[in-house]
Amino acid sequence: MSMPKTPTSTPPKTLADWRAKAEALSFESRAFIDDGFVDALSGDTFESINPANGQCLAKVASCDDADAERAVRHARAAFERGEWSRLAPGSRKRILLRLADLLEQHKHELALIDTLDMGKPIGSALGDMAGTIACLRYNAESIDKVFGEVAPTGEESLGLVLREPLGVVASIVPWNFPMMMTAWKIAPALAAGNSVILKPSEKSPLSALRLAQLAQDAGIPRGVFQVLPGFGHTVGKALALSMEVNCLAFTGSTQVGKQLMQYAGQSNLKRVYLECGGKSPNIVFADCKDLDAVAANAAEAIFHNQGEVCIAGSRLLVENSIREDFVTRVLKAAEAMQPGDPLDPDSFMGAIVDETQHKRILDFIRQGVEEGALLRGGGQALETCPGGLFIAPTVFDGVTPEMSIGREEIFGPVLAVFGFDTEEEAIQLANDSQYGLAAGLWSQDIDRIMRVTRRLESGQVFVNNWAGGDQTVPFGGVKQSGNGRDKSMHSLAEYSELKTVWFSLRP
């Protein structure tokens, strides 16, 4: 652990500022259980590595079944005590708004932690913090505006429908947007009055541990918000199999999502909300306006966050009459999106999260070439920073649905371009996937837009944009992209039970 040297109060702006801030940073690396930081009971740790230079940032507590059992016990006890679960919603709101204010105060530090921990560019990490804070404020502000129901009965009865918290919620999250994915889960779960145990990814555990301290500072009572760093097959599995956890709120791969449903079936039928993978189609019709702007947007849709995005626009479907011209424009846009030092505010892409993911992406690129797709740009690892893991923005044309790069979620900066001639062919290609997380549609023809939108098998459709939306609309998928919805009032509703109360009255 390095200790602070030169604390600065002015917000960092340049690469040098961010480097200085990184030098001065210290990391909490212990689990947060009940009301404080503790080592894992086993004493085991794992290394958190900065993928931009290969350096170890911290040795983090590696929690397992015993720690999970301990945290679940404290979460349940807190729920029973009722200091949070039975607190008036308006009071929970005030505490969560205080937490949002603390996140605002510490947003540079939290963004920096995520950048160092998983390699995303600092500008993008700051963008995540804006989303994180907005999510917390939205749920805090909403919770004292949610009403129960009075059923339409005759005079002899009174039917009430009450909303009650679920109990203990375990949130298991990935590494690609560490803070934001966390907020999407914990903000509605906490607002609804649950006790929450967060298991961050083993690839990006550090910001969650800083968050635990800020949550305590904001006044969240003991046992209500705990953080267990560690691996999926140990502490994650223990939470998923626990008889005392009432809900699993998961974001991650489809493969692990399927396992979690099995664990719920093997244990206590806990609720399982899944936000899983994608292979999202971005459909460009020849009638769309301003091809340069659309091409830049299509490049950003795949290369943002190094392609490590669940809703990456990884399948670009282009009408054949403009395909060659359009791909040339995408390649030009991609040129300006080369990876840079993640601490440089001007970098568009950063480092790939770890060696496993780096190798997996390069393997897919190799397979794409072997399967006969046309490599039009990128395709190689880059030595952007010494000791770091970087990959050039990569574009394949002439991809078909049988090719692995056309079907599998690569989770890296690799774009697969398909051609189509008719609207029907575009719809068939778009829906030919196990996933259904997001889809994009570029056209000026409103009739076509609505025809195609209705037929796309997707939880969200972006028309003449990619990844638009704010806190007011739900985010989630269909098919094997999962069954949950983050953001919006729909997400808040997922974290409460309905209780029916029926009174017999004397008329």
**Positions in the binding site for ligand NAD (CB under 6 A):** 172-176, 181, 199, 201-202, 231-233, 236-237, 240, 251-253, 256, 259, 275-278, 310, 409, 411, 437, 477, 481-482
Shortest Å distance, C-beta 326 to ligand NAD:
26
Task: Please identify the residue of the shown chain whose CB is closest to the bound ligand NAD.
Answer: 232
Are 391 and 378 spatial neighbours (Cβ–Cβ below 8 Å)? yes
Q: How many CB atoms lie within 10 A of CB 421?
A: 10
Task: Tell me how far apart the alpha carbons of residues 481 and 253 are, in angstroms, rounded to a whole number.
Answer: 8
Cβ atoms of residues 48 and 230 within 8 Å: no
Pairing of strands 461-463, 439-442: parallel
Q: Where would I find the beta strands (DSSP E) of 24-92? A: 31-33, 36-38, 45-49, 56-61
Residue 360 CB, nearest approach to ligand NAD (Å): 10
Among candidate residues 308, 309, 326, the one with its CA nearest the CA of residue 317 = 326
Catalytic pick among 135, 247, 310, 385: 310
**CB contact burial 387-405 (16+ within 10 A = b; e otherwise):** ebbbbbbbbbbbbeeebbb
Q: Which is nearer to ligand NAD, 173 or 467 (CB)?
A: 173
At closest approach, how far in Å is the CB of 19 from ligand NAD? 28
Based on CB atoms, which residue is closest to ligand NAD, 278 or 393? 278
Between 29 and 443, name the residue whose CB sits nearer to ligand NAD.
29
Rounded Cα distance, 53 and 339, in Å: 14
CA distance 257 to 254: 5
Nearest to 314 by CA among 283, 268, 276, 345: 283
Nearer to ligand NAD by C-beta: 75 or 95? 75
Classify residue 55 by its DSSP letter: -
Q: How far is the CB of 71 from ligand NAD (least distance, A)?
A: 14
- Nearest by Cα to 253 from 229, 266, 241, 236: 236
Q: How far apart are CA 366 and CA 404, in angstroms?
A: 11
* Active-site residue (options: 28, 275, 308, 409): 275
Looking up tokens 């145990």 gives 197
Query: Least distance from C-beta 430 to ligand NAD, angstroms?
Result: 18
Q: How far is the CB of 349 from ligand NAD (least distance, A)?
A: 17
Known catalytic residue at 244: no
Q: Which is nearer to ligand NAD, 78 or 276 (CB)?
A: 276
Nearer to ligand NAD, 295 or 410 (CB): 410
Q: Please indicate whether residue 310 is annotated as part of the active site.
A: yes
Active site residues: 275, 310
